[in-house]
């Protein structure tokens, strides 16, 4: 076929769901009722929901069909073996342990191997990863390259690990490091990819210091497509081949099937080490379920198996990466400060740069997020001082960035939805001087962003 410029959605729509339009006064009341925390809104009161790309994607007709093939046997279900074979073909890992979602894999891994006082390095830990390490009284250390901490700076692999810093850690305090993690793509750092070259560097250091290397692989397919687009010598390879190589550089992974599994729920923990796997399975049985279902229904395992096959298809990934970039381009053209380049699953607005008059501990991300909801019924998420500003000792410090993430659910919104989002963000940016900060009225100690109550400052 002739190569046209327009990259279209590589699907047609078989089933639709209406979205609800609201008036500004209704949104004001809803937000007040929610304690000015968009996590607490009724989703029905949101017009375009970019809170997360996790579990919010549209399954394909083939996935819905696969649901009917689900074998609900308690032990040894046929659906488990289909799931295991697909995951093993992709990752090459020996032990495949299903879990109900990514954080269950994290909890089981960390609870079975971490001791208090230990350190787990990563490019950037995601919130649940960090929390599951801190709850074991261990330290979650972020070692992304310096470029990865500067929103406006353009770099092809902003998710890369600072290999010199990792080497220093392993040389000086290696006895306290039980494993090394890398998140692909680096969600907390802007959905930015990690290059194969960098992953090989991590592998070499892990070999030298005899440390297991685990991937937080939630968005492995998006990472693989960035590698194809941006890394020298990778342009001719299939995304699946790149993904297979990525996994084979590691000793194990945690995975949330709610992202690049194209499923609404699910995940897995996978690894080569027999002893760690044994410990993980014992814990799994205690809290998740028998090792051939791990808290999932047989039909979930079928949906994930099919999703993992669809997610590495090239027309899908081309459209996926392009649709995020399209939104980023519109915002940049209008002068809205965003984290550059665009991430694989989201555009991250730079709230700190947009609202210099709101200090980090008055939560510029919340100010921006809430006006976007009031203006246009759009919901995003703060990734900044609320999510990451609270230390385990209870003190508050501003993290490197205050971002508002607009995450795109997979295969859900069309180009006109994206045009609407761009128009709304630009309208809010034009009123930037009017936006005010917030204070926290009440919040729990761990993962406070989910349930905190806020109050607008006068």
Residues forming contacts to ligand F0G in the complex (CB under 6 A) are 52, 54, 101-103, 126, 128-129, 183, 187, 216, 218, 256, 258, 267
Q: Residue 23 Cβ, how far from ligand F0G at the closest point, in Å?
A: 28
Distance CA 344, CA 423 (A): 21
Q: Residue 124 Cβ, how far from ligand F0G at the closest point, in Å?
A: 9
Q: Residue 56 Cβ, how far from ligand F0G at the closest point, in Å?
A: 9
Q: How do 213-216 and 346-350 pair as beta strands?
A: unpaired
Q: Residue 358 Cβ, how far from ligand F0G at the closest point, in Å?
A: 23
Nearest residue by C-beta to ligand F0G?
Answer: 102
Q: Residue 378 Cβ, how far from ligand F0G at the closest point, in Å?
A: 16
Please say which residue, 83 or 358, places its beta carbon nearer to ligand F0G. 83
Q: Residue 51 Cβ, how far from ligand F0G at the closest point, in Å?
A: 7
Please say which residue, 330 or 345, places its beta carbon nearer to ligand F0G. 345
Please say which residue, 95 or 258, places its beta carbon nearer to ligand F0G. 258
Please say which residue, 60 or 101, places its beta carbon nearer to ligand F0G. 101
Please say which residue, 112 or 122, places its beta carbon nearer to ligand F0G. 122
Please say which residue, 271 or 429, places its beta carbon nearer to ligand F0G. 271
């Amino acid at each position: 076929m002739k190569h046209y410029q327009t990259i279209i959605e590589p699907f047609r729509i078989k089933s639709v769901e209406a979205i609800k339009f609201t008036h500004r006064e209704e949104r004001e009341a809803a937000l007040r009722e929610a304690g000015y925390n968009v996590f607490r809104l009724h989703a029905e009161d949101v017009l375009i929901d970019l809170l997360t790309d996790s579990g919010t994607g549209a399954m394909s007709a083939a996935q819905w069909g696969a649901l009917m093939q689900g074998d609900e046997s308690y032990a040894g279900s046929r659906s488990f073996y289909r799931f295991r074979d697909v995951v093993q073909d992709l990752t090459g890992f020996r032990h495949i342990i299903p879990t109900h979602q990514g954080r269950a894999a994290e909890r089981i891994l960390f609870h079975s191997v971490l001791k208090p006082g230990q350190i787990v390095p990563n490019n950037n830990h995601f919130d649940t990863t960090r929390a599951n390490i801190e709850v074991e009284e261990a330290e979650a250390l972020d070692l992304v390259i310096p470029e990865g901490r500067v929103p406006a700076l353009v770099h092809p692999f902003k998710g890369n690990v600072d290999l010199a810093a990792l080497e220093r850690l392993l040389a000086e305090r290696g006895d306290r490091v039980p494993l090394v993690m890398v998140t692909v793509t680096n969600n907390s750092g802007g959905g930015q990819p990690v290059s194969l070259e960098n992953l090989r560097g991590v592998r070499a250091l892990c070999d030298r210091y005899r440390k297991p290397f685990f991937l937080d692989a939630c968005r492995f397919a998006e990472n693989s497509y960035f590698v194809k687009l941006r890394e020298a010598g990778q342009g001719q390879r299939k995304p699946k081949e790149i993904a297979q190589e990525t996994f084979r550089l590691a000793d194990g992974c945690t995975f949330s099937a709610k992202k690049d599994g194209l499923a609404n729920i699910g995940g897995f923990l996978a690894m080569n080490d027999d002893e760690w796997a044994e410990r993980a399975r014992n814990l799994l049985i205690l809290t998740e379920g028998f090792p051939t279902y791990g808290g999932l229904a047989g039909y979930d395992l079928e949906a994930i198996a099919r999703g993992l096959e669809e997610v590495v298809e090239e027309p899908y990934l081309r459209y996926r990466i392009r649709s995020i970039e399209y939104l980023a381009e519109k915002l940049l053209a209008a002068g809205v400060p965003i984290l550059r380049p665009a991430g694989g699953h989201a555009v991250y607005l730079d709230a700190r740069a947009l609202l210099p008059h709101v200090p980090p501990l008055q939560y510029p991300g919340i100010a921006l997020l809430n006006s976007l909801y009031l203006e246009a019924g759009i919901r995003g998420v703060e990734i900044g001082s609320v999510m990451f500003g609270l230390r385990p000792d209870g003190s508050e410090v501003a993290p490197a960035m205050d971002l508002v993430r607009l995450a795109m659910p997979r295969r859900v919104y069309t180009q006109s939805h994206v045009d609407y989002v761009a128009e709304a963000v630009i309208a809010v940016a034009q009123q930037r001087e009017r936006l005010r900060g917030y204070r926290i009225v009440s919040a729990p100690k761990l993962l406070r962003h989910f349930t905190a109550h806020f109050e607008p400052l006068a």
